[in-house]
Amino acid sequence: MKAMILNSFGSPESFELCDVPKPVPQAGEVLVRVHATSINPLDYQVRRGDYRDYVPLPAITGHDVSGVVEEVGPGVTMFSPGDEVWYTPQIFDGPGSYAEYHVAKETIIGRKPSSLSHLEAASLSLVGGTVWEALVERATLRVGESILIHGGAGGVGHVAIQVAKAIGAKVFTTVREDNFEFARSVGADVVIDYKKEDYISAIMRETDGCGVDVVFDTIGGDTLSRSPDVLAQLGRVVTIVDIAQPQNLIEAWGKNASYHFVFTRQNRGKLDELTTLVERGQLRPHVGAVYALADLSQAHTRLETPNNGIRGKIVIAVDPSADTTRASS
């Protein structure tokens, strides 16, 4: 099979398209023909060596799969050849999704939402699971509460807006002015141009000084230390960004705030919950750009480029002949 191999940590050019043996499913495992995968910040962090202690080289990386079951191992009961599936490979535990085939435990695999193309499903598995864990399981966002989502036009942010609206929350988000219409189209109630206005002043004005119940951080920087300035009492801050620089959180004490640091865990349950929202018409991932597997380096370069013009996710069409025609416009 064809696969993109990471031979050394570093630039996007560190990938090489190679022929490697097709994996064989063992007991409890499923072999999937990968139709599409996608690019996440986690992917370029792995590539550049941020987690080098957990990724022995050479490696096949990648953290999203949408495809079709090719073969099942002994003991598999939930899936059969021909089933359309989607999932996030177990991070740092075996080969990833930048290949024509992938093997995974049946316990982490879900049935692909029928209304999504493989491109769309591949764009949603990791970010959708991350958003679900962040907002539902950790922040326990509730009906009638309010949330500030940083980076609402991004791959994680635009999904978070939709999930928060499905829960019944009021959504504030920070985006550039040219993304106002997109953010509103996926459900944002109040959009803030972070280039022209300090988001703290905007939130306190829009909430009559009360603040928001939850802050969802997808951007890093000084968000953790500034979040207490926009939080209501007993507010929660959830971040998915690994921030090495210490930050002063003394202001959080006065708000009785709680902080949650999320590195998503794989399971079928989250995928099934997301599928329910998709099938109800409450969640639709946006595919901002599509690249071929052989052009993976270009896709990584684009994602890492500031102000790259991408709304939603960058997706890789591993099998160009697959049903990928229902991608977002």
Please report which confidence band the pLDDT of residue 125 belongs to, taking 50, 70 and 90 as the band edges.
very high
Residue 230: φ, ψ to 5°: -115, 5
What's the pLDDT at 326? 42
pLDDT above 90: percentage of residues in the chain? 89
CA angle, 34 then 219 then 121, to 5° = 20
202 beta partners? none
CA distance 47 to 13: 10
Helix residue ranges per DSSP H, the chain: 41-48, 118-131, 157-167, 180-185, 199-206, 223-226, 250-254, 268-279, 296-304
DSSP per residue over 178-208, as a string?
GGHHHHHHTT-SEEEETTTS-HHHHHHHHTT
Per-residue buried b or exposed e for 203-223, using 16+ beta carbons within 10 Å of the residue's own CB: bbebbeeebbbbbbbbbbeeb
Cα distance between residue 77 and residue 285, in whole Å? 29
Residue 325 has pLDDT above 60, yes or no: no
Give all domains of the chain, ordered by start, each with its CATH number.
2-125+266-317 (3.90.180.10), 128-261 (3.90.180.10)
Residues in Cβ contact with 281 at an 8 Å cutoff, skipping those fewer than 6 apart = none
pLDDT, tens only, 68-111: 999 999 999 999 999 999 999 998 999 999 999 999 999 999 99
Residues 247-257, mean pLDDT to the nearest whole number:
93
Q: What integer best gives the mean pLDDT of the chain? A: 94
pLDDT of residue 324: 45
Q: Which two tokens stand for residue 247?
A: 């930050």
pLDDT attached to residue 322:
63
Phi-psi region of 223 (alpha: psi -120 to 50; beta: other; left: phi over 0): alpha
The answer to whether residues 149 and 216 touch, using CB atoms and an 8 Å cutoff, is yes
Q: How confident is the model at residue 323 (pLDDT cuts 50, 70, 90)?
A: low
- Split at pLDDT 50, 70, 90, the class of 233 is very high
Taking the whole predicted model, whether its pTM rises above 0.85 is answered as yes
For the residues 143-164, what does the mean pLDDT come to?
Answer: 97
CA dist., res. 188 & res. 169, Å (int): 10
pLDDT tens figures, 24-74: 999 999 999 999 999 999 999 999 999 999 999 999 999 999 999 999 999
- The answer to whether the beta carbons of residues 218 and 151 sit under 8 Å apart is yes
Pairing of strands 2-6, 15-19: antiparallel
CA–CA dist 86, 266 (Å, integer): 12
